[in-house]
Amino acid sequence: MAPSSTAHGPPRFLRSAETLPAAARLKPALLLSLQAFDAVARLGSFKHAAHVLHITPSAISHRISNLERALGEGLFTRAHRAVQLTTQGKALAAATGRAFAELVRATAPTAGVQGHRRLRMAVSPFFASHWLIPRVSKFMAAHPDIELVIENSSRPLDFDNEPFDAAVRVGDGNWPGLSATHLIEIRTTPVATTEMVKRLKLKKPGDLARAPLIHVTTFPLAWPLWLEQAGVGEIKSKQAISMDTFGAALQAAEQGVGVALGLEPLFTERVRAGALCQPFAFSHPTGGYWLVHRPADAKNPALRAFSRWVLAELAKDAE
């Protein structure tokens, strides 16, 4: 049968609609709106999102409004100083978080030094400052092809929504859906200057009632747990001061401010140097440091190299 024709032109053939790639379906304005939305969703503030994206808060507000009109639903409930995601906003944030994080991971190698592989790490601050940073030059010398990016961070991580390849975290090894490699066991024990220990005659745990205790605000139960395990129970110390990290607490102890809880064995170098001493033999187990990453990243050459190196260095320390 001959193809049908019309009185006004040549025969017409049926053609399937052209399939557009996903990237072509998102217009530039919509992509910018999604970027603004994801920044606000992560930071909880239009002002903070504007700062990191280098645009004005009104531009952020305009892009979010355009996105809400395009979707036909509200994404945030707005308060005086903060915003909260709606149910629809939470669903979209989960999708944008995964998408942007995956794009960052996919494009990161081209953003570093040419020919280098980039390894992005989120490392607990105390492990970073007291173990990793003093030794990291050894890793860089042994692996000149790897560019290491380290962020001091102890907050919970969502590897699906953040561009990290791995993290070093304190815990018991139980991170559902993630792979965890045990690095080192840690124990808490009091540390102070030799002068303070002698002056206050700190010979048994109960003597800590005479000493200023240095607390860590992010671990408020650290001292109560140690005192309980040491058989002292609750004591009323002479004074108390609070710091935000174990590293800051250790520095304060070195300056004679008071007695801090140190994470053994990560302060042993300071004991050898005479900056601190351990007045009591008792230490309390408090979990360990673990190298945590997504199972899919187990074959990442840079991550495998880092894992082998850190385990070898820790084994040397234990000898």
pLDDT digits 0-9 by tens, 25-42: 778 888 899 999 988 888
* Mean predicted lDDT score pLDDT of the chain: 86
pLDDT top residue among 226 and 23: 226
Q: Which CATH superfamily is domain 186-287 in?
A: Periplasmic binding protein-like II (3.40.190.10)
pLDDT band at 9 (very low <50, low <70, confident <90, very high): low
Higher confidence at residue 72 or residue 79? 72
State the CATH class of domain 116-177+291-318. alpha beta
* pLDDT beyond 60 at 79: yes
Whether the per-residue pLDDT at 2 is higher than 50: the answer is no
Does residue 73 surpass a pLDDT of 80?
yes
Chain position carrying tokens 């520095």? 251
pLDDT score of 158 = 78
Question: Which pLDDT tens digit goes with each residue over 93-147?
Answer: 888 888 887 787 677 654 444 445 889 999 998 899 889 999 999 999 999 999 9
Taking the model in full, what pTM does it have? 0.65
Residue-level pLDDT at 210? 92
Residue % of the chain over a pLDDT of 90: 48
The CATH 3.40.190.10 domain(s) of the chain lie at 116-177+291-318, 186-287
Rounded average pLDDT over 205-219: 92
For residues 206-223, give the mean pLDDT: 92
Q: Where in the chain is the domain with CATH 1.10.10.10?
A: 24-109
Query: What pLDDT does residue 159 have?
Result: 81
pLDDT tier, 178 (very low <50, low <70, confident <90, very high otherwise): very high
CATH tag, 24-109? 1.10.10.10
